[in-house]
Amino acid sequence: MRILVTGGAGFIGSHIATRLMQQGERVRILDNFSHSTPANLDHIINDIELVEGDLRSEDDVSRAMDGIELVYHEGALGSVPRSIDDPRTSFDVNAMGTLNVLNAARRAGTRRVVYASSSSVYGNTPTLPKREEMSPAPISPYAVSKLAAEKLCVSFWHTYGLETVALRYFNVFGPRQNPDSQYAAVMPKFLRAYTNGQQPTIFGDGEQSRSFTYIDNVVDGNLLAGSAPDAAGKVMNLASDTNYSVNLIARNMAELLGVEFDPTYEPPRPGDVRDSLADIAIAREVLGWEPKVDLDEGLRRTVADFVATHGLSTTTIQD
């Protein structure tokens, strides 16, 4: 099968592409490397087809879509703070870029598009767990852009018969997450601080909670969504069904690294959601999916990979 992974040089996209290669699929990647790195593809670069291009370009997307049967649409401009700083670019990439993907897929006769949506669409409602039938209440430009793209996916299924599946991710973590961007996710930021002999900064009191989900679980769900016969047109959560506080994550990382836990606390950031917890009943029923790697094992793998890749300061915090 010929499969396209948009954003395939990014964190999640590169993991999906790797698994597809291991299963013997023919993989094409579309990426403009603006917020990803070619190094994420070093281990498969000789076995994939790479199209360097931008989701905002109809020509680039159409070129990448030619002859493709299945799309994993991971390409996006992530980060709530980034979207607050520059809402137009986030919307152009995430919403209009998805429209380009869907249009190109429809013209190319592509069978299915699996779209990476986000738990941010639920907003800051105190109701837990988050269920797909809840009314979306996005509070950041990023969340609005992801919801708009999700709605486009559903509309293309109903209007054109293009099979789409939208998977709402909840705080995915694992190897290859970029720790160096000012908009980096919380786990690689914490790891970067600890391995540099510093303490992490936590925004808020640290008791805000998330359904942190290890990357292998997310890849499993995506591959199932690519073929599940009853998934077309559906939106579903893809996450751990347990939530954990940011303090717990930072403390467990410190223990794994053998360093002190004494973070700096700053005021909460605009657009941040207080608590998030996923209901995954639909993914269980429709995809037959179950998260296999729990938080402790996922953290162990992530910390070990980060130290092997980035190194560990010889001057520990206790010194």
Give catalytic residues, as residue numbers. Answer: 142
Q: Which residue has the tokens 């190319």?
A: 108
For residue 264, the cross-strand partners are 201
DSSP β-ladder status, 201-203 and 209-210: unpaired
CA distance 249 to 255: 10
How many other CB atoms are there within 10 angstroms of residue 174's CB atom? 24
Beta strands in the chain (DSSP E): 2-6, 26-31, 49-52, 70-73, 112-118, 163-169, 172-173, 201-203, 209-210, 213-214, 234-238, 244-245, 264-266
Radius of gyration of the chain measured on its C-alpha atoms: 19
Take residue 218 and report the two structure tokens written for it.
């997310």
How many other CB atoms are there within 10 angstroms of residue 296's CB atom? 10
DSSP β-ladder status, 70-73 and 2-6: parallel
CA distance 111 to 236: 19
CA distance 58 to 200: 41
Q: Which residue has the tokens 């808020």?
A: 204
